[in-house]
Structure 1
């Protein structure tokens, strides 16, 4: 039986965790933001005038069927010297981009080397620079700065937009066209998920697609301080320009000790209340969708994948 084609749109840790659970149940294409301008990716972006490779690298590793030793090699991060904080996988993408003269060809080469199950595409091949207007009136430029200054100034992100228009990549366009179902999230609401909806033609391509939003399990003090589940959904739908077909939300809580650590950092669970169930009805799908590893709360991708499969 032919697997359903699923497009997962997002970025950051959230997207890579989700697709790791989806890859054995769907024909997965990950469409990844390229708006990152911080950390090792930001350095390579500035120095080599290339797209940021970090989120792409994480998705390649998540879909990889290569030996663990090779995946571990690409995930290695330098701890000292001029390369401190840089990952070997990022450097390999940078090297292959220079070798082939194409970011797309570099991804294709590493996809083959890692024997990935599925596809990884940048949402755009154009420089993607994010701009946010905060509730205090400030305008912040750059993905990493948006998170820093919205937290520092205790200001909400009122509007997110692109400094210059970006065209959707041809591979991303074709993947969305052929998709049986599309997922948005989990991940940083504005800088990993919504930013993709700002790229030219993405919203038009999604207007007739079956879309499932996978909500974050915890708020992020940088972008979604004290946001409710409905706050997340309403922001997604505002930028999407249409309603979501399905919403996956966790309704289980981890142990108090784990929650206490997150609360100290300004992060609380994103769980539905009874009004959400009444308002969203059958569109809202809830369950125990969390996984706690080494004290970190993440989405339980295998459980979410099983539920998504029921929709196809």
Structure 2
């Protein structure tokens, strides 16, 4: 009985399966009628129809029909069940009908979730994404492209590319197998020429060279990790963050360029801008924002993670 209870759960609303089950049933019925007509004509042509009736005469034709229907239904259900498990095996579902049902139901619920755009960077945005991906797969993360420190800064200088660090951390946050992917992507080589570089940054650098732009590199990395959503750069321009700071005692005003230099400044931040100032908002980001049902800004550092996304024109 447990098997049939699990079977009937496939007919619950929201799974988008009942219509296709009906299509399969109609197809089987039409095929059965056609096959019956072919066999009938074949028996007549070969003169076997009298032998057939002589064979079934001792039995009730009604009972034979009912028995064949029951056997056919059982065989069809068993075949359909095993076919689904075989098709789902490459996606990690191998145990039972219940596991397959749970996977399908969860996928449909996430796919029907709210369209969310989360804007930020640093370590705050990945935490938000980890919570969001349990409710919806329609997530777009928009991250700042002004990072110039550490591994990202070195890759920017060496390859003239945009910083991959914030993209990497948010892509791993949306990965289905986050525990393994986070360890792999955040692994930093301890020494040598690669010392200080994280594996994820190097992968994005390779994809950048292969794909030709950082947005396509991020999409490719997302496909590799089968992430729930998308991670987009706020701009495709090569930008640097500039802060106008004021000394607390002397009130002297100076400019500090580079995101990595701003947090270390002991001065009061009066104004932040981008260099160049006419950086253009990535068009896909604009489209996602216009379609969003919910827009989340932050959490994160106001001056280095949030504002750089908001001042792109």
CA distance in 2, matches of 1:57, 1:5: 22
8 A Cα contact 1:132 1:141, kept in partner:
yes
Q: Which residue of 1 aligns with 2:236?
A: 125
Q: What 5-or-longer segments of structure 1 have no aligned partner?
A: 201-312
Q: Name the count of aligned residue pairs.
A: 196
Q: What 5-or-longer segments of structure 2 have no aligned partner?
A: 1-108, 248-252
Q: CA deviation at 1:156?
A: 1.1
Q: CA deviation at 1:67?
A: 6.7
Q: Which residue of 1 aligns with 2:142?
A: 31
Q: Which residue of 2 aligns with 1:189?
A: 302
Deviations 1:140-191 (A, max 9, x none): 111111112x2xxx31111001121210112211111111111111111101
Is residue 2:121 matched to residue 1:11? yes
CA distance in 2, matches of 1:69, 1:155: 40
Q: Which residue of 2 aligns with 1:244?
A: none
Deviations 1:251-295 (A, max 9, x none): xxxxxxxxxxxxxxxxxxxxxxxxxxxxxxxxxxxxxxxxxxxxx
Q: Which has the larger radius of gyration?
A: 2
Q: Which residue of 2 aligns with 1:80?
A: 191
Q: Which residue of 2 aligns with 1:219?
A: none
CA distance in 2, matches of 1:28, 1:190: 24
CA distance in 1, matches of 2:122, 2:300: 6
Q: Which residue of 1 aligns with 2:162?
A: 51
Q: CA deviation at 1:60?
A: 0.3
Q: CA deviation at 1:7?
A: 0.6
1:138 to 248, 254, 271: 254
CA distance in 1, matches of 2:182, 2:245: 39
Q: Which residue of 1 aligns with 2:203?
A: 92
SS where residue 19 of structure 1 aligns?
helix
**TM-score, normalised via structure 1 length:** 0.61
CA distance in 2, matches of 1:67, 1:162: 33
Q: Which residue of 1 aligns with 2:273?
A: 161
Within 5 Å, give how 1:205-220 maps onto structure 2: none
CA distance in 2, matches of 1:143, 1:103: 19
By percentage of residues, which structure has more strand? Answer: 1
Within 5 Å, give how 1:258-277 maps onto structure 2: none
Runs of 4 or more above 3 Å deviation: 66-71
By percentage of residues, which structure has more helix? Answer: 2
Q: Which residue of 2 aligns with 1:113?
A: 224
8 A Cα contact 1:53 1:94, kept in partner:
yes
**TM-score, normalised via structure 2 length:** 0.61
SS where residue 158 of structure 1 aligns?
strand
CA distance in 2, matches of 1:169, 1:11: 16
Aligned Cα RMSD in Å?
1.3
Q: Which residue of 2 aligns with 1:178?
A: 291
Q: CA deviation at 1:66?
A: 3.5
8 A Cα contact 1:71 1:114, kept in partner:
no
Q: CA deviation at 1:82?
A: 2.0
8 A Cα contact 1:41 1:54, kept in partner:
yes
